[in-house]
Structure 1
Amino acid sequence: MVSSTLNLRDDVFFETLIFPAIYWVPISALGKTRYTKQDIKIKFSNIDPEEISNMICNPYELIQYIQINCFTENLQEHEYKIVDNNEWEIHKNGYKALKDNNGSCASLASIFYNILSKYYSNIGNLCVMSNSGGGHVINYIYTNGYYYFIDLYAQLGCYAPFIPVETGEKRDFVKTSYITGGCLKTSSIDSFINYFDKYTKLKKKEFLYYTYNMPVCPPASITVENDYLSLLLPYNHNIKIMNKNTLSKIKVRFVEFKDESD
């Protein structure tokens, strides 16, 4: 298994039901890798991010690259800008993250989108934001009538002990720490949201879910006061709120965003 990674297996196929309408499947269900570990080390050494993007054509190859290249997390990669008297959080794009070889969940989602949108016609991002102000971004690919959710951030080498090896055994999935540690197949985004909600109820938080189909995470202005979140989002960034009617501690407002420094 010279093409296997810390947790991925290139020679398996399974569909394991882990929650109603949610199946754990191998990453290779979206495409087999063309590279061995040694190929990644040699062919991807000291090359430009633009060139890297032309050498990767599926999620398996992308995960191979970030794990073998020891891509690291950087939770401080964003910057803050004051626009119209509001402080906006702005994340770096995927190519900058590739060049730096570090990033947050948002910039990793950008890497995923930047590279793989050339090969999959329907690819997007799902952002989860809690009323405490914390957020997370994962990617999805829609193909052949199904959504495949992949959390590239959870695939970083530092999280290998906390995500499942691709055995296909339900017990191996449920005993791990990350509920998004594997490739999850479902027929709708709402089904995935139901799954995420179920396993985060113990945190006693409220979650906002929104999708966006863009190569960079949209800027956001976040204010938290007394466990209530006020969130400003730019209206021209193709954002779709998935559960606005169920929120009591999160208020979302769309405004015009013009960054005059760009």
Structure 2
Amino acid sequence: MSTPPPVTTGSQRQQRPAGSPPAGLAEGATDFDLVAAEYDESLPGHVVAHYIRKRVRYITAHTRPGTALDLGCGTGTLARAVAAEGYAVTGLDPSRGMLGVLRRLTPGANAVTGSGTDLPFQDGVFDLTYCVAVMHHVAEPDAVLETLAEMVRVTRPGGHVLVWDHNPRNPYWPLLMRRVPQDTGAERLIPEREVIDGLTLGGAKLVESRALGLVPDFTPPPLLPVVAVLESVVERIPLLNRFCAHNVVLAVKE
């Protein structure tokens, strides 16, 4: 994680999408502040590591190292892994508590407090802009649209935008979201079509949309290798793969 692009005010930006004042992502900040200190410990480490590896493999397979924005970076677990692959990552999150943990774990990290609906960066400064498990917290349709437009805006022409989020078709998410402290019931699982349409309206062209992931959080460590193999099989089976855990939408800015 290296020197971040210059932070700007709204009056300094060009081509700023019209919309309401910062909302959506910023509205969930208090809930994550409350759990920030225990957040990483509340998740099964072996399952987290599995998905971090999966996401890093996807990013490195589809993009080249360059400047990257991790929108909704939380405590920085994925940002650190992406940075280790040669990307200059800037993290942004509305939760000061989560960013405090990130800075403690990664001294000198570039971490900015802000809202996804009003990104404090100039146009076209990132080669890659991505968010993982963020959009269902943004929730409100207008805020989702604004966040997607902002992700495209801060990405350079020819750069990539990646949205990796919960798949509404997967029946396990409502069960899990009822028992994790950071989810309050205000969340909304976002269909991939809504993400695709939002990125397209923002000025990006779809590269691919697919469903990935199947390993649940309750997988015992000894069974992870077996479940991971099953996951890779299901991901390749048409129709059945529509029920995988995550929708993954990759676009390129035109």
TM-score normalised over the length of structure 1: 0.28
Between Structure 1 and Structure 2, which shows a larger proportion of helix residues?
Answer: 2
Q: Which has the higher strand share?
A: 1
Larger radius of gyration: 1
